A and B are shown apart, each in its own frame.
Chain A
Amino acid sequence: MAMLEVKDLEVCYGVIRAIKGISFEVNEGEIVTLIGANGAGKTTTMQSVMGLIPIKHGTVTYEGKDITKTPCHKLIGLGMAQVPEGRRVFQELTVYENLLMGAFSRKDKKEIKDDIESIYEKFPRLSERRNQIAGTLSGGEQQMLAMGRAMMSRPKLLMLDEPSMGLSPLLVDQVFDIIKEFHKSGTTILLVEQNAGKSLAISDRAYVLENGEIAFSGTGKELMESEDIKKAYLGG
């Protein structure tokens, strides 16, 4: 049984059908990527899975439980977390307070403290700036904070929406390294990316989203070698 199963998902903005009945699944322990161009519906898919925008038709199942209509805040307690597009750290709160917010659904105070320490170990920059207001961090640091914050809920399934967006090549490499590390420590990953090359390289499986429909799917390797994908997404 898949950890996350999306079936015939349809999402509309007014009369416009943004997502036209897509199905995909993520199995426990996998890294799965949705790639696609701007406006293909990647972020819409991610937000509707988390209950942030209403689903017109179709079902979302997580660990065998129908969560199509479950409000977002309840999903966090079930072990789902998402790093939203554009990072969206709380600008007015400090780095430390942002990490604390990530653990909002948890009650185990002592372990929360330990987890924050281990995030600081992983991201020394955040440790140096722990009492700084998050709005003053650079884009890369904010992305690290957003990822650290999402991990604070100890998710079983971590979804990342374009974590490499707007970052320098060096930072992009770092982001993908961190994703691999999270995965190694036992977190299942659903990744949405425009950077097809990097994301396919670390993915077990991938889906290609085009105009609200799934155009191709396969293992990361298969898609990387497919001529169509190469032409459209890998620049060659």
Chain B
Amino acid sequence: MSILFDGLSLGAIYALIALGYTMVYGIAKMLNFAHGDIIMVGAYAFYVALISSGHMALGIVVAVIFCTVMGMVVEKVAYKPLRGASPLAVLITAIGVSYLLQSISQLVFGADPKVVTIPSLGTVSLLGASISVSSIITLLIGAVIMAGLTVFVKKTRTGRAMVAVSEDKGAAMLMGINVDKIITITFAIGSALAACASVFYLMQIPSVEPTLGSMPGIKAFTAAVIGGIGSIPGAMIGGVLLGVIEKICLSIPVLSPYTTAVEFSLLIVILLVRPIGILGKKRREKV
């Protein structure tokens, strides 16, 4: 029971990050490999705000704002000039941005991990199992954020514009949609979600270092591909699935050293059986 809860809350973290990958892929048709490092940026922003103010809530707000701005700046400086360039050039640029962000934070904060002291929230017992409060908070807030995002995409003017751009850029322009603006908004939302994920991540592992974003970034990317890259519900399902599997593997002594191997094997199996992912859509060739 408590494993399931931990798994679901880790899954919510992966899902929040995976949403950033999948939305950017859907709309800008690029893999933003620097997305994982936005989590790291968010974690440092949270850390700095927390030690200088002592307020957890302020830390979250600072992390979200800082990441949102950072995501928009990265898009404007690094990716926008490459609009229409070969996908390979954009991919290499994203990897470059990833190393750049890591190196900058190493310059500023040094390579040693910094401990983030988050007051422990304790555990509660539910149906006979003790479940950590931070897991419950992560799960609840994660669910609220994802529900909010779903409503935003389905019901608002901007959300529908995002769907339109992801389906057909040219036709979206003919509707009067400013595609560049939609791409910027997508990066902003993805980065804000990554900032939330970074705070939840620190509640589980309270230490920050420049390479913090790599592993959750790759796992979340895996989750996005498993769920079907480009699909928003797919990213949520993939993230939760991966989180639960990770926690279950970790709880089984024989399997626990191979947890990561199990997760990536799942990716390979999914790609063999259903290359477009669980909820991925085949792109129809337009005539």
Contacts and interface: CB of A to CB of B under 8 A. Distances in A.
Interface stretch (B53-61, B175-183, B195-203, B206-214): B175-183
Contacts of A89: 171
Contacts of B175: 73, 76, 101-102, 104-105, 149, 153
Contacts of A77: 176
Interface stretch (B135-143, B159-167, B215-223, B237-245): B159-167
Contacts of A179: none
B164 A86 contact: no
Interface in A71-85: 71-77, 81-82, 84
Interface string A123-155: 000000000000100000000000001100100
Contacts of A75: 176
Interface stretch (A23-31, A91-99, A212-220): A91-99
Contact of B284 (A82, A91, A105): A91
A149 to B, nearest CB: 8
Nearest to B182: A73
Contacts of B164: 90, 93, 101
A153 B170 contact: no
Interface centre among B163, B172, B173, B286 (most CB of A within 10 A): B173
B160 A93 contact: yes
A104 B176 contact: yes
B284 to A, nearest CB: 7
Contacts of A47: 170
Contacts of A81: 174
Question: Chain B contact residues (Cβ within 8 angstroms of A): what range?
Answer: 20 to 34
A76 B286 CA distance: 24
A47 B172 CA distance: 13
Interface string A42-67: 00000100111000000000000000
Interface in A151-203: 153
A77 B178 CA distance: 11
Given A73-B179, A88-B168, A91-B284, A82 B174 contact: yes
B89 interface: no
A119 interface: no
Contacts of B174: 50, 52, 72, 76, 81-82, 84, 150
B287 interface: yes
Given A73-B178, A104-B157, A90 B163 contact: yes
Contact of A90 (B167, B178, B284): B167
Contact of A153 (B168, B176, B286): B176
B163 A93 contact: yes
Contacts of B163: 90, 92-93
Interface in A96-130: 97, 100-102, 104-105
A102 B148 CA distance: 25
Contacts of A50: 173-174
Given A72-B174, A73-B179, A91 B167 contact: yes
B177 A84 contact: no
Interface of B: 157, 160-161, 163-164, 167-168, 170-179, 281, 284, 286-287
Given A50-B174, A101-B172, A104-B177, 14 more contacts: A50-B173, A52-B173, A52-B174, A73-B175, A76-B175, A76-B176, A84-B170, A88-B168, A88-B171, A90-B168, A92-B167, A92-B281, A102-B175, A104-B157
Shortest 10 CB-CB distances between A and B: which pairs?
Answer: A76-B176, A105-B176, A72-B173, A88-B171, A104-B175, A73-B178, A104-B176, A101-B175, A73-B176, A90-B164
7 contacts: A50-B174, A84-B170, A86-B286, A91-B284, A92-B167, A97-B160, A150-B174
